Amino acid sequence: MKFDTPTCRRWIPRAANRYSPVPDGPTRMVRILPLLLLPLMFSCSASKSATQPRAPSSQETYEYGACQKARDDCPRERTLACALTTIASRYNACSKLEDCVAANVDAQCSISGSCPPLYVNREMKAAFEAEAQKEIDKYCENPSCKSSGLCGITMFEAQCSDSRCTWKRAPVWEPGRF
């Protein structure tokens, strides 16, 4: 068969156009249009978040007296620990071990005040817990973080030392040790 005939010359260019991998005209534009609109869609959604700044959390803005603005697991968690220790110092006077008890506070987003527990005078426990809980509530009002909850010491005992209630690590019984 000869390909140089007028019929073949007409047919071969059409076949090449029909099976071409790159379409021309409106078909090509329809395929490209979604790709052109993608950056526009993403740029609009990004601009919304860029114009609405996030308000700082209660943890990031927490302050207490002369306590240093320092973090632990969460922003200013050491500031809260300092605040609770400062408050406890007003409630932890003791003359004997029996005066000291562990305070119970709801630590919420922080481990401060629960690990280690704060020990206060038995007669002043309720007043301390109320004041300490107000500080914890203020710190955890709208948190951006929750403390890991990990505590390296698992057993505590009360101690009256230098006329102040504090804690000490409780001895851990190990089989075969005694």
Dump pLDDT digits (tens) for 42-93: 554 444 445 667 889 999 999 999 999 988 788 999 999 999 999 999 999 9
Give domain status of residue 134, yes or no: yes
Q: How far is CA 136 from the centre of its chain?
A: 16
Task: Note whether 108 and 169 are within 8 A (CB).
Answer: no
CA neighbor of 100 nearest in space, from 78, 128, 73: 128
Give domain status of residue 9, yes or no: no
Give domain status of residue 145, yes or no: yes
Give domain status of residue 51, yes or no: no
Percent of the chain with pLDDT over 70: 64
Give domain status of residue 157, yes or no: yes
Which one has a higher pLDDT value, 169 or 85?
A: 85
Is residue 151 very low, low, confident or very high in pLDDT (cuts 50, 70, 90)?
Answer: confident
Task: For residues 55 and 85, give the distance between their C-alpha atoms in angstroms, rounded to a whole number.
Answer: 29
Give domain status of residue 68, yes or no: yes
Q: pTM of whole model > 0.85?
A: no
Number of domains into which the chain is organized: 1
Work out the mean pLDDT of the chain and round it to a whole number.
Answer: 78
Give domain status of residue 175, yes or no: no
Give domain status of residue 120, yes or no: yes
Specify burial of residue 119 (Cβ count, 10 A radius: 0-12, 13-18, 19+).
Answer: buried
* Structural domain boundaries enclosing 75: 61-169
